[in-house]
Amino acid sequence: MGMELLELDDWSCCGASAAHCTNRKLAVCLSLRNMALAEEQGFDTLMAPCPLCSGQLAAAAEALAGDPGLKAQAEAAVGSPRGQGVRAVNYLQYIREHCFDAVRDMVRRPLAGLKVACYYGCLLTRPPRLVKFDDADQPTSMEEIVRVLGAEPADFPHRTECCGSGFTQSNSKAVVRLCRPIIESAKAAGAHAICVACPMCQMNLDMRQRDVEREAGTKLDLPVVYLSQLIGLALGIDRKELGLTRHFVSTVRVKGA
Amino acid sequence: MARIGVFVCHCGENIAGTVDCAAVVREALQMPGVVHAVDYKYMCSGPGQAMLKAAVRRHRLTGVVVAACSPRMHEATFRRAAAGADLNPYLCEMANIREQCSWVHDDRDAATRKAADLVRMMAAKVARNQPLQPIRVPVTHAALVIGGGIAGIQAALDIANAGHRVVLVERQPSIGGHMAQLSETFPTLDCSQCILTPRMVDVASHPRITLHVCSEVESVGGFIGNFEVKIRRHATGVDASLCTGCGACVQACPLKGTIAGDFDCGLGRRGAIYVPFAQAVPNRPAIDRANCLRFKAAAKQGVAPADCAACGKCRDACPIEPKAIDFAQADAVVSEKVGAIVVATGFDVYTGARPKPGDPYQGCGEYGYGEYPDVVTGLQFERLLSASGPTQGRVLRPSDGAEARTIAFIACVGSRDNAKGFTYCSKVCCMYTAKHAMLFRHKVPDGRAIVFYMDIRSGGKGFDEFVRRAIEEDDVAYFRGRVSRVFPQGGRLIVKGVDTLSAEPVEVEADMVVLATAMVAGEGTRSAARALGLAADKDGWLSEAHPKLRPVESATAGIFLAGACQGPKDIPEAVAQAGAAASKVLALFSADELEREPVVARVNRSGPPEYSTCSGCLACKAACPFAAIEIEEISNQKTGKVIKRVARVNESLCLGCGTCVSVCRSNSIELCGFTDEQVFAQINAT
């Protein structure tokens, strides 16, 4: 696609929910550290595969821009005055804004006949103030990409509901209650697979699906794939290389006709 | 030698809370020319004004400085008081020590020093002020009313009934506005059409009202008493002077019943030639050029619609000779001279749909308007309830035409939601939601009506009783809480919300969802603001001259506001404001002449005329935004030979903006009341 994806050298955890729920300054500093590293290493965009990470980076940038006192403290803590010139984006946003035409031109094996439920979850488009991308409640960008891959998007209403992944360890009962309507309505819409762009959603909907099936008393068997895996399939990349063999719910039927 | 009096106002605590007024008085007494200074709690009150008048006489003052609020607030008050003591009013000036000092500072010492400086500056200016005489201009006794909703109709009738000519301009093919779309009205449940349509007929048949429909105000020139207005009458394809309103053309249109019309908010279907509703005034059809087969074919073939062979069934059906249908009709621009303008351009309804690029508001995607056909706005629901609506008053779902059994009503959609771009309350939604739920229960007695609300705002005569009636007599279930999500499931709509009083999540399966969406300043209001140069607030509502004391006047003299163009309003408020605007117009028309502020530009002409320093370059003429600069030829009085051409300011057109003063290369123009000498004295005083 004419671009090189580089891993940020010496990156650290953004602290995600643990930091921002307990200590705002810590959350800002952890994000600023990664942004400062990115700027020092010559990057202007930091793409985080996890929308909570990219959201935390954007939230820190916003907090620093609006609070000179906090900025001075955070810069002292991180030990760098840099990082303000880096834009944080999530994976879906980056693909839609920068790679859409390239993906379209590179499709080798269109996913014809595959019906895909595009699931955004709660954070890919929210909060709109920080994400500034697509419509928060009725987004369309993932459907646009899926269509370009030759697959058919399934129209299901739970696209931007929360799957509860933050509680997948601590309160799995609540998670089953949240996952069930998402998987069931995707299934009812005729989807062969759920496509996600958040690693937490992927893990949660895939790993907890057996619990949901037990609760519902019925077999759902709906594979949950990452958007990059679908793109890879349409581009003709090997299934094993794409990690499609390592899912909880089998992905064998995720393919073009 | 100037004898100046300084009057320092406490404005209760507003000024005295931050500024040491007594210290300002002591300081003022040291200023050049000041012979008298005093402070008082409320200088604008009766005793305060009497104090000012007495001091002018006793101390033989030649100038007055009132240190108080903004001149926008009380300059006229104090100038009138000065005139009452036989001092030329333009020798009275205000130093603004409230908005520009006490309200914006905390430090008492610094604020006091600044207040004294502001007084010192004004005293230096007043010492150089010249007496000015007001300019008298004639008043044209005719009014322009923009917008033919209930506010515009009321204002037009009130002015016309008092004996003056009114020009009423409406963008749509019929007057009536949003009120014509409503079914019943709160809190009396009387029929909107029944109380509105007789007034519409009164407008059409009034001998002193000229009605222009399908028209827009293109430009407005002039000033109070003497506006020149250009009105564009859009071509409707129907010659209104020939048409009898028989409706044969509407019946003949092959597209009849296929196009989603505005009047039914997209729920009803009309043809390409149509009358928006049966009771329309005037009862004349118009051709929708974007959809008409003939206009579309003509555009495709690149020929004039009159020469095109396509369709033309409406013209064939017209029983009148010569035919009233005229495909060659072009837009016409009409000029009118009026003395006053009433803006009554109303509101639009926010839908919560996905925003288009450039929209100032976010959509409310969580409710699914525009995605799910059974999610409708309150105005659409009015059309479903209306006996003359697309379902003849039956509550049928837009998706499949089945009668709705359960309806969820969501209040405050957009309104009071900063995240969506709204900070204000739309004021009418609590009431019309109660009305909707009540009317639905009357029409479907075994139906369920559920309302999700933030809090109920039912201030108004009989309003709270009305809401209680919905809850207690008509069994409408009210949940205090927001809805997080609406989605379709099995042909119905699932509404997920919360009841914050029991702290329980609520999930309702409904056949329809009605959104009580916000009122927004419509495109009509925005374009009127542009054409008339009116100020608007951040949401686009037109700004009144004073929020409490001048609620129906705009900041531009002679232009008045009526109805919802100024902010969300219900029908009685819109009617009351329209009546108030009309009474302001009538007060203006009560005399044949009016006095204008003499703050106008003047070209230096002292001495024999040929000595004017004006070189006649006319850079001022090019710069003047009001076309107030004319060319004057100075002739030798004996020979009549033209000696020189100089600029002259037409005082009745000049608005005193001062642009010409700044572009004049030879410094030959001055603004009366703001001469260079006065302004520089003011600047150099501190």
Give tens-digit pLDDT for B399-447: 999 999 999 999 999 999 888 889 999 999 999 999 999 999 999 999 9
pLDDT of B686 reads 84
| Cα A20 from Cα A127, distance rounded (Å) | 15
One domain for residues A78 and A198: no
First-to-last alpha carbon distance for chain A, in angstroms, is: 25
Instruction: Nearest chain A residue to B353 by CA: give it.
Output: A138
Answer yes or no: is A7 within a domain: no
Q: Does A185 touch chain B (CB under 8 A)?
A: yes
Strands of the sheet containing B504-510, edge to edge, are: B483-489, B492-499, B504-510
**Tally of domains in chain A:** 2
Q: Which two tokens stand for residue B151?
A: 């506010």
Task: Please indicate whether residue B533 or residue B255 has the higher confidence score (pLDDT).
Answer: B255
Chain B residues close to A161, C-beta within 8 Å: 485
Question: pLDDT class for A70, splitting at 50, 70, 90?
Answer: very high
In the predicted model, is pLDDT for residue A34 greater than 80?
Answer: yes
Same domain, A140 and A240: yes
Average pLDDT over residues B437-464: 96
Nearest chain A Cα distance for residue B409, angstroms = 20
Q: Is residue A254 part of a domain?
A: no
Q: What is the pLDDT of residue B533?
A: 87
Contact A135 B489 (CB under 8 A): no
Look at A158 and B364 and tell me if their CB atoms are within 8 Å. Answer: no
**Chain A residues touching B489 at Cβ < 8 A:** 157, 185
Closest-CA residue of A relative to B421 is A129
Based on the fold, state whether residues A157 and A233 are members of the same structural domain. Answer: yes
* Residue B47: how many other CB atoms lie within 10 Å: 11
Contact B365 A136 (CB under 8 A): yes
State the CATH number of the domain containing residue A174. 3.40.50.11810
A118 with A103, same domain? yes
Express as a percent the part of chain B with pLDDT over 90.
84
pLDDT reading at A247 higher than 80: yes
Q: Do B354 and A129 touch (CB under 8 A)?
A: no
How large is the average pLDDT for residues B63-83? 95
Confirm or reject contact between A132 and chain B (CB < 8 A).
Answer: no
A158 touches chain B (CB under 8 A): yes
CB contact under 8 A, B354 and A138: yes
**Same domain for A209 and A158:** yes
pLDDT tens per residue, range B537-574: 999 999 998 889 899 999 888 999 999 999 999 999 99
Indicate if the pLDDT at residue B396 is higher than 60. Answer: yes
Q: Is the peptide bond before B187 cis (omega within 30 degrees of 0)?
A: yes
Predicted confidence at residue A17, as pLDDT, reads 79
Instruction: Identify the closest residue of chain A to B367 by CA–CA distance.
Output: A137
Gap between the Cα atoms of B601 and B652, Å rounded: 11
**CA of A173 to nearest chain B CA: how many angstroms apart?**
17
Q: Do B368 and A185 touch (CB under 8 A)?
A: no
- The verdict on residue A78 lying in a domain is yes
What is the reported pLDDT for B608? 63
Domain range spanning residue A143? 91-246
The rounded mean pLDDT for chain B is 94
Domains and CATH numbers, chain B: 4-126 (3.40.50), 142-232+336-346+522-593 (3.50.50.60), 248-330 (no CATH), 349-519 (3.50.50.60), 601-684 (3.30.70.20)
State mean pLDDT over A34-56.
93
Q: Per the CB < 8 Å rule, is A137 touching B364?
A: yes
Find the farthest-apart pair of alpha carbons in chain B and give their distance in angstroms, rounded: 99
A190 reaches B (C-beta below 8 A)? no
> Is some CB atom of chain B closer than 8 A to the CB atom of A221?
no
Q: Tell me: the pLDDT tens digits for B624-642?
A: 887 889 998 888 778 888 8
B374: left (phi over 0), alpha (psi -120 to 50) or beta: alpha
- Taking the C-alpha atoms of residue B248 and residue B254, their distance in angstroms, rounded to an integer, is 12
Please identify, among A85, A118, A135, the residue that sits at the C-terminal boundary of a domain: A85
Of A33, A64, A85, which closes a domain? A85
Say what the pLDDT of residue B610 is.
60
Q: Is residue A111 part of a domain?
A: yes
Q: How much is the pLDDT for B360? A: 79
pLDDT at B359: 79
Q: Are residues A99 and A35 in the same domain?
A: no
**Prior bond to A128 cis, omega within 30?**
no
- Distance from C-alpha of B648 to C-alpha of B632, rounded to nearest angstrom: 6
Mean pLDDT of chain A: 93
- pLDDT > 70: what percent of chain B? 99
Asked if the C-beta of A159 comes within 8 angstroms of chain B's C-beta atoms, the answer is no
Q: Are A138 and A48 within one domain?
A: no
Per-residue pLDDT at A57: 94
* A128:B489 CB<8 A: no
* Per-residue pLDDT band at A16 (split at 50, 70, 90): confident
Q: List the single best residue of B367, B487, B493 to mutate versus A (max A Cβ within 10 A).
A: B487
Give me the mean pLDDT over the B208-231 stretch.
94
Q: φ, ψ for residue A245 (rounded to 5)?
A: -90, 0
Confirm whether the ipTM is greater than 0.85. no
Judge whether A113 is closer than 8 Å to chain B, CB to CB. no
pLDDT on residue B607: 62
**Are B487 and A138 an interchain contact pair (Cβ–Cβ within 8 Å)?**
no
Residues A103 and A129 reside in one and the same domain? yes
Are B305 and B294 in contact, with CB atoms under 8 Å apart? yes
Question: At residue B605, does pLDDT exceed 80?
Answer: no
Q: List beta partners, residue B489.
A: B492
In this complex, is the C-beta atom of A155 within 8 Å of any C-beta atom belonging to chain B? no
Q: Which pLDDT score, from 0 to 100, does residue B293 have?
A: 95
Examine the domain organization and report whether A99 and A218 are in the same domain: yes
Establish if A177 touches chain B: CB-CB under 8 angstroms: no
Q: Is the pLDDT of residue A75 over 70?
A: yes
Helix A209-216 and helix A172-188, axial crossing angle in degrees, nearest 10: 80
Q: Is residue A6 part of a domain?
A: no
Nearest by Cα to B404 from B444, B372, B435: B444
B485 and A135 in contact by Cβ < 8 A?
no
Residue B437 exposure: Cα atoms within 13 Å on the Cβ side? 30
Flag whether A10 is in a domain: no
Same domain, A29 and A146: no
- B365 and A128 within 8 Å at the Cβ level: the answer is no
pLDDT at B512 over 80: yes
Shortest Cα distance, chain B CAs vs residue A160, angstroms: 9
Distances (CA, A) of B187 to A147, B459, B519, B563: 52, 12, 19, 19
Shortest Cα distance from A254 to chain B (angstroms)?
Answer: 26
The reply to whether A9 falls in a domain is no
State the amino acid at position B96 in one-letter form.
Answer: N
Residue-wise pLDDT for B162-204, tens only, equals 999 999 999 999 999 999 999 999 999 999 999 999 999 999 9
Nearest to B363 among A135, A161, A185 (CB): A135
Q: Give the tens place of pLDDT for each residue, A105-132.
A: 999 999 999 999 999 999 999 998 899 8
Q: What does the pLDDT read at residue B606?
A: 66
Given pLDDT bands bounded at 50, 70 and 90, which one contains residue B64? very high
Pair A97, A66 in one domain: no
Nearest CA distance, B478 vs chain A (angstrom): 25
Q: Cβ contact (<8 Å) for B362 and A157?
A: no
| Closest Cβ–Cβ partner in A129, A135, A185 for B365 | A135
Residue A257 lies in a domain: no
pLDDT in the model for residue A122? 93
Say yes or no: A102 and A66 in one domain: no
Q: How far apart are CA B139 and CA B145, in angstroms?
A: 17
Q: Which one of B365, B419, B489 has the shortest CB-CB distance to A138? A: B365
Q: What is the pLDDT of residue B609?
A: 55
Q: What was the pLDDT predicted at A2?
A: 78
Number of helices and strands (H, E) in chain B? Answer: 17, 34
